[in-house]
Amino acid sequence: MVKWTEGVEVAIYEIMKGKNGSALKEFLEFSDKQLKNMIKLVRMKLEPLQRTAMGALIVIDVHAIEVVRNMINARVENINDFPWTS
């Protein structure tokens, strides 16, 4: 979650500075690729503990992707925008 938060903050700062207006969308695509790779991993033979851990990580990542998607839909462009701070 620390790396996710860092990634979202970096994306918002890129938008704020005018460097990349689609930085959040790009971060969403990156997160989606990571999720798809984790799903591929879960389809392989795993030990029960590994499968449980991966399941938990997938649930967390699905939620994180939805948060980023909601931020995009809310047009978050500043680190102080309400959807980001709530």
Encode pLDDT of 35-44 as tens digits. Answer: 999 999 999 9
- Measured distance CA(78)–CA(42) in Å, rounded: 36
Percent of the chain whose pLDDT exceeds 90: 88
Encode pLDDT of 61-74 as tens digits. Answer: 999 999 999 999 99
Asked if residues 28 and 68 have their Cβ atoms less than 8 Å apart, the reply is yes
- Stretches where the chain sits below pLDDT 70 are 82-86
- Measured distance CA(1)–CA(61) in Å, rounded: 9
**Residue 27, domain extent:** 2-85
What are the E-state strand segments in the chain? none
Of 86, 21, 32, the closest CA to residue 64 belongs to 32
Asked if residues 5 and 31 have their Cβ atoms less than 8 Å apart, the reply is no
Indicate the number of domains in the chain: 1
pTM of this prediction?
0.88
The pLDDT, as a whole number, for residue 83 is 58
The pLDDT, as a whole number, for residue 39 is 95
